Amino acid sequence: MIDFQNPSFAKLSHVDNASADSQFAHLLLDGEQVMMSFRGMRDMVVFTSKRIIALNVQGVTGKKKDFTSLPYNKIQTWSVETAGTFDRDAELEVYFSAVGKVKFEFAGNTDVAYLSKLIGHYVLG
């Protein structure tokens, strides 16, 4: 499980959703679709039509994997911070009931405004 006491997750870069399909297909519900996919060093995060799923690859060989499901219906609030001139990273902070804050850091070219709209669509829609 993600260490929620240390809410920062590795810096993530956007990847094609097809690369996430093999890692997450067995977890998706009927009708659930991957909307956006991101990769850190070894870990991944996908935003689906129902939740955020974080993959934490563990161990030297990387065979041990932890999947954490964060459903949109448990989100209380969220914030985005876009990249700036000197601070090239973008951030998404999401506050979940019973879990607390989860922080995702993205490469500067990530469209965090779209992520905010995506979350808003499923939380508020």
The answer to whether domain 8-124 has CATH 2.30.29.50 is yes
pLDDT score of 5 more than 60: no
- Of the candidates 124, 62, 74, the one whose C-alpha atom is nearest the C-alpha of residue 99 is 74
pLDDT score of 9 more than 60: no
Distance CA 33, CA 70 (A): 15
Helices (H), the chain: 17-24, 112-124
The mean pLDDT value of the chain amounts to 88
Instruction: Compare 84 and 28 and report the one with higher pLDDT.
Output: 28
Could you tell me the end-to-end alpha-carbon distance of the chain, in angstroms, rounded to an integer?
A: 29
pTM for the structure as a whole:
0.88
